[in-house]
């Protein structure tokens, strides 16, 4: 199985080379040249396997240049009991006959990014060996919260890698800040930037584009890389849990062989839901993929009209991991629905870049709308939904997951579709405990409470335990105290790499 760019560069790469390279040289994203096909008997065999075995079975169909032993070692290191606090890794919880939750937050950082960022470093270090790369890889991350911590946990003490994470000084929640500044590991650096997320991201982009800095790092044996969600090594592991959820529902008797199911996905960069689309293209019986957005509803507009227009206000919402106006992974969807028309994809991406807008029409739009449906929820509806889901099912949903629950309601009302639905639950409610507690008990319940006091109150009120990794933060030593201006970010990387 080889990979090529969505933009027409005809060079074909092995999986290892695609994972090491990240983004294609022509600016496009890597896609597999063909998709493996599955059928009902394959799905039946999955029911007999645990999550890790299911992962090996899916991954080996895409990673032709990795041996089964290598893939098994990657999967075991990523999804073992030392890392995930649930034996099922990605358990399915049933709310009622036709509504289920797929929980993707049982990993070390309590958010769905762990599903990919626990295994990416494993795939990447083996890719370095396979491609004869001599340099030590330096992962640079600008984070608005979840990705930075998940990348730190994934890369900590991984051979031949270093990781430097920058976060906006006042732009992350207190839990998220504590998760990062207490990070352990011999190859990690964490730096707060005096600025907002855009300043931080722009600073990281400047370092990537700074030729003399890159030459200086290369002279010391370092090569910069990113753990960004457009890397094929982040997307591929996400296909697994769609198959795993379906296998679990078959096993529980909630679905019969071949029965169609809908997935509802809280969406930002379009990575998670795109993995569901790949699963469907591979033969998983998926009817609709419902894209749930927040007030940054650029995807809802696009999926309804075909017009992608990022020229709009950016909203800070209660579901910050979905506060995104340019969803990079959409490019892969466009490639597939045009039957691999790279010239067309390049034209649309060029228009997005220069004008901030492009329009998809005709067959391509029809193909998109056959599978995708979308709506969005604002913060008021999200808060009301957290309470409604708790009152009705005694299920605690974080704000991102609540957006999806709300959109499922509107999907059912609008379409009358009675197929079973799986809501993809992307974060532990305790990671956003202030929003969740305020939704259940009113904003006054937060008055004078520290993040931990609020979390304890939420736990007491609902009888749900706080994930140990979050509870443990309260007594962890702060190990990273560096703060810099955006202009000083490069110096921070130099210090982390060159002066031990």
Ligand X SMILES: *Cc1c(COP(=O)(O)O)cnc(C)c1O
Q: Interacting stretch for ligand X, rule CB under 6 A, among 110-118, 301-309, 408-416, 435-443?
A: 110-118
Does residue number 108 form part of the binding site for ligand X (CB under 6 A)?
A: no
The pair of three-digit structure tokens given for residue 493, joined into one six-digit string: 């990387």
Does residue number 231 form part of the binding site for ligand X (CB under 6 A)?
A: no
Containing H/E element for 5?
Answer: strand 3-5
Q: Interacting stretch for ligand X, rule CB under 6 A, among 15-23, 45-53, 109-117, 169-177?
A: 109-117
Contacts of 30 (CB under 8 A, 6+ apart): 3, 4, 5, 6, 13, 18, 21, 24, 232
The Cα–Cα gap between 422 and 250 comes to 13
Does residue number 110 form part of the binding site for ligand X (CB under 6 A)?
A: no
Q: Which is nearer to ligand X, 152 or 497 (CB)?
A: 152
Does residue number 54 form part of the binding site for ligand X (CB under 6 A)?
A: no
Q: Which is nearer to ligand X, 222 or 302 (CB)?
A: 302
Concatenated DSSP letters of 345-371: HHHHHHHHHHHSEEE--HHHHHHHHHH
Beta bridge partners of 136: 222
Does residue number 386 form part of the binding site for ligand X (CB under 6 A)?
A: no
Sole binder of ligand X in the list 176, 297, 321, 435 (CB under 6 A): 321
| CB 105, min distance to ligand X, A | 7
Sole binder of ligand X in the list 62, 79, 112, 166 (CB under 6 A): 112
The Cα–Cα gap between 314 and 291 comes to 19
**What residues act catalytically?**
113
Contact positions with ligand X (CB under 6 A) in 156-215: none
In the shown chain, the binding pattern of residues 262 to 301 toward ligand X, with x for contact by CB under 6 A and - for none, equals ----xxxxxxx-----------------------------
| CB 243, min distance to ligand X, A | 17
Containing H/E element for 161?
Answer: strand 161-168
| CB 155, min distance to ligand X, A | 17
The Cα–Cα gap between 46 and 55 comes to 10
The Cα–Cα gap between 24 and 12 comes to 10
Contacts of 346 (CB under 8 A, 6+ apart): 7, 8, 28
Containing H/E element for 102?
Answer: strand 99-103
Q: Which is nearer to ligand X, 201 or 272 (CB)?
A: 272
Q: Which is nearer to ligand X, 83 or 234 (CB)?
A: 234
Does residue number 111 form part of the binding site for ligand X (CB under 6 A)?
A: yes
In the shown chain, the binding pattern of residues 409 to 428 toward ligand X, with x for contact by CB under 6 A and - for none, equals -----------------xx-
User: 225 in the Ramachandran plot: left (φ > 0), alpha (ψ -120 to 50) or beta?
Assistant: beta
| CB 381, min distance to ligand X, A | 16
The Cα–Cα gap between 230 and 446 comes to 37
The Cα–Cα gap between 391 and 483 comes to 43
Buried-exposed string 37-62: b where 16+ CB fall within 10 A, e elsewhere: ebeeebbeebeeeebbebbbbbbbbb
Q: Which is nearer to ligand X, 191 or 424 (CB)?
A: 424
What size, in residues, is the chain?
Answer: 500
- Residue 123: φ, ψ to 5°: -65, -40
| CB 128, min distance to ligand X, A | 25
| CB 96, min distance to ligand X, A | 23
Q: How many residues bind ligand X (CB under 6 A)?
A: 17
Q: Which is nearer to ligand X, 103 or 146 (CB)?
A: 146
The pair of three-digit structure tokens given for residue 333, joined into one six-digit string: 């969807």
| CB 258, min distance to ligand X, A | 28
Does residue number 374 form part of the binding site for ligand X (CB under 6 A)?
A: no
| CB 64, min distance to ligand X, A | 25
The distance of Cα 201 from the centroid of its chain, to the nearest Å, equals 17
Does residue number 400 form part of the binding site for ligand X (CB under 6 A)?
A: yes
Containing H/E element for 412?
Answer: helix 399-415
Does residue number 377 form part of the binding site for ligand X (CB under 6 A)?
A: no
| CB 222, min distance to ligand X, A | 28
Q: Which is nearer to ligand X, 270 or 348 (CB)?
A: 270
Q: Which is nearer to ligand X, 143 or 342 (CB)?
A: 143
Does residue number 146 form part of the binding site for ligand X (CB under 6 A)?
A: yes
Sole binder of ligand X in the list 189, 318, 322, 402 (CB under 6 A): 322
Determine how many CB atoms are found less than 10 A away from the CB of residue 223: 15
Contacts of 186 (CB under 8 A, 6+ apart): 156, 157
| Residues contributing to the site for ligand X (CB under 6 A) | 111-113, 146, 229, 266-272, 321-322, 400, 426-427
């Amino acid at each position: 199985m080889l990979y090529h760019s969505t933009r027409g560069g005809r060079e074909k790469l092995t999986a290892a080379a695609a994972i090491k390279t990240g983004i294609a040289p022509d600016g496009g994203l890597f896609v597999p040249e063909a998709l493996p096909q599955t059928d009902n008997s394959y799905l039946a065999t999955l029911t007999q396997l645990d999550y890790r075995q299911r992962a090996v079975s899916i991954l080996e169909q895409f990673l032709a240049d990795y041996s089964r032993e290598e893939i098994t070692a990657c999967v075991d290191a990523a999804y073992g009991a030392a890392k995930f606090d649930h034996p099922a890794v990605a358990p399915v919880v049933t709310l009622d006959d036709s509504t289920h939750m797929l929980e993707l937050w049982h990993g070390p950082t309590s958010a769905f990014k762990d599903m990919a960022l626990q295994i990416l470093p494993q795939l990447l270090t083996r890719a370095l060996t396979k491609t004869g790369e001599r340099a030590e890889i330096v992962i640079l991350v600008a984070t608005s919260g979840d990705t930075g911590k998940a990348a730190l946990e994934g890369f900590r003490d991984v051979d031949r890698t270093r990781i430097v994470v920058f976060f906006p000084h006042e732009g992350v929640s207190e839990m998220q800040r504590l998760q990062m500044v207490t990070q352990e590991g011999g190859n990690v650096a964490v730096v707060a930037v005096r600025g907002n997320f855009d300043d931080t991201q722009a600073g990281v982009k400047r370092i990537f584009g700074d030729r003399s800095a890159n030459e200086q790092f290369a002279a010391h044996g370092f090569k910069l890389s990113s753990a960004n969600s457009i890397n094929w090594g982040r997307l591929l592991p996400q296909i697994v849990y769609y198959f795993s959820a379906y296998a679990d529902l078959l096993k529980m008797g909630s679905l019969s062989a071949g029965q169609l199911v809908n997935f509802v996905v809280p969406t930002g960069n379009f990575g998670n839901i795109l993995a569901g689309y790949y699963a469907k293209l591979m033969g998983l019986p998926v009817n609709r993929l419902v894209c749930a957005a927040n007030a940054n509803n650029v995807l809802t507009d696009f999926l309804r009209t075909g017009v992608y227009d990022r020229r709009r206000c950016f909203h800070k919402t209660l579901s910050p991991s979905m506060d995104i106006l340019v969803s990079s992974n959409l490019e892969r969807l466009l490639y597939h629905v045009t039957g691999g028309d790279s010239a067309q994809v390049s034209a649309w991406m060029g228009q997005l870049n220069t004008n901030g807008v492009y329009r998809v029409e005709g067959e391509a739009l029809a193909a998109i709308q056959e599978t995708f449906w979308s709506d969005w929820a604002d913060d008021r509806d999200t808060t009301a939904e957290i309470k409604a889901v708790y009152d009705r099912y005694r299920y605690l949903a974080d704000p991102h997951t609540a957006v999806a629950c709300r959109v499922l309601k509107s999907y059912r009302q609008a379409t009358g579709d009675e197929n079973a639905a799986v809501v993809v639950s992307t974060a532990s409610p305790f990671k956003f405990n202030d929003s969740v507690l305020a939704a259940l008990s009113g904003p006054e319940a937060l008055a004078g409470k520290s993040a931990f006091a609020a979390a304890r109150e939420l736990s007491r009120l609902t009888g749900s335990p706080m994930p140990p990794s979050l509870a443990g933060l309260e007594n962890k030593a702060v190990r990273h105290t560096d703060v810099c201006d955006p202009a000083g970010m490069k110096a921070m990387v130099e210090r982390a790499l060159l002066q031990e």
